[in-house]
Amino acid sequence: MALMLRAILGFAFLFLMMAAALFLPAGSTRFWQAWIYLAVFSGCSILITVYLAIRDKELLAGRVYAGPAAESRPSQRIIQGLASLLFIAILVVPGLDFHFSWSHVPAALSLVADLVAVLCFLVIFLTFRENRFSRGTIAVSAGQKVIATGPYVVVRHPLYAGALLLLLVTPIALGSWVGLALFVPFIAVIVVRIRDEEALLRAKLDGYVAYREKVRYRVMPFVW
């Protein structure tokens, strides 16, 4: 019960923060792209949370306990802090774009981006289903083993792959070309986080070095 309460409160805070970051800069609740994006984000997040609450409460606990303060190392606290600020910015800028009409994304393209966002959440769900050690912090848990099935056959970090694609389509779903500029620093932050995480996995997770040789790409096949 305490875990579910914490998950519900955490989700409520995230939803309110996202709504504020979208509608306050927009200066209007007629920002229809924001309503649809919030529905997609919230709906998918709720479904995944309910699944974890039923099937894997330990993983849910590991995901609830996340964020800059949850990281054990100062470097990761900084990285997570930057990621959090950039996530807020990637919502604020489209809101400002709506208010000042800096750019225009066709409505049909915004809807397509929402559908891609659903697919991104599907990738995230499949990753959780395959790997119950997908914690919200960088650490090697007791009994953790290398996962080389499901989406891990394609890339070594499918969770980051799904999250990065979600971040890429977010400004488009919100009707803003300008917001895409924030994706570049977001990539830099995620790359630093992945490199740090892989250094830890190579040092402390048995079999990870061999897995790296088998699956060459981290988040995008044939690219990186």
Packing angle between helix 74-100 and helix 158-173, nearest 10 degrees?
20
Q: Which two tokens stand for residue 136?
A: 């919200």
Instruction: Report yes or no on 224 lying in a domain.
Output: no
d(CA 52, CA 131): 12
Instruction: Report yes or no on 222 lying in a domain.
Output: no
Q: Are 11 and 49 in contact (CB under 8 A)?
A: yes
Question: What is this structure's pTM?
Answer: 0.90
d(CA 106, CA 121): 23
Instruction: Report yes or no on 143 lying in a domain.
Output: yes
pLDDT value at residue 9: 82
Q: How many structural domains does the chain have?
A: 1
Give CB contacts under 8 A, 24+ apart, made by 30-37: 31/95, 31/98, 33/94, 33/98, 33/110, 33/173, 33/174, 33/175, 34/94, 34/95, 34/98, 34/174, 36/110, 36/111, 36/114, 36/173, 37/114, 37/117, 37/170, 37/173, 37/174
pLDDT value at residue 139: 73
pLDDT (tens digit per residue) in 115-157: 999 999 999 999 999 988 877 677 777 778 888 899 999 999 9
pLDDT value at residue 135: 72
Residue that wins the pLDDT comparison between 96 and 66: 96
Instruction: Report yes or no on 150 lying in a domain.
Output: yes
Burial of 128 (0-12, 13-18, 19+ CB in 10 A): buried
Burial of 203 (0-12, 13-18, 19+ CB in 10 A): exposed
Instruction: Report yes or no on 28 lying in a domain.
Output: yes
Instruction: Report yes or no on 219 lying in a domain.
Output: no
Q: Taking 80 as the threshold, does the pLDDT of residue 169 lie above it?
A: yes
**What CATH number is given to the structural domain containing 116?**
1.20.120.1630
- Mean pLDDT lowest among 56-70, 112-126, 156-170, 185-199: 56-70
d(CA 199, CA 210): 14
Q: Taking 70 as the threshold, does the pLDDT of residue 92 lie above it?
A: yes
Range of the domain at 180: 2-214
pLDDT (tens digit per residue) in 67-86: 666 666 777 788 888 988 99
pLDDT value at residue 155: 94
Instruction: Report yes or no on 221 lying in a domain.
Output: no
d(CA 64, CA 10): 7
- Mean pLDDT lowest among 25-29, 30-34, 102-106, 207-211: 207-211
Torsion, Cα 101 102 106 111, to 10 degrees, reads -90
pLDDT value at residue 17: 95
Residue corresponding to tokens 């250094």? 199
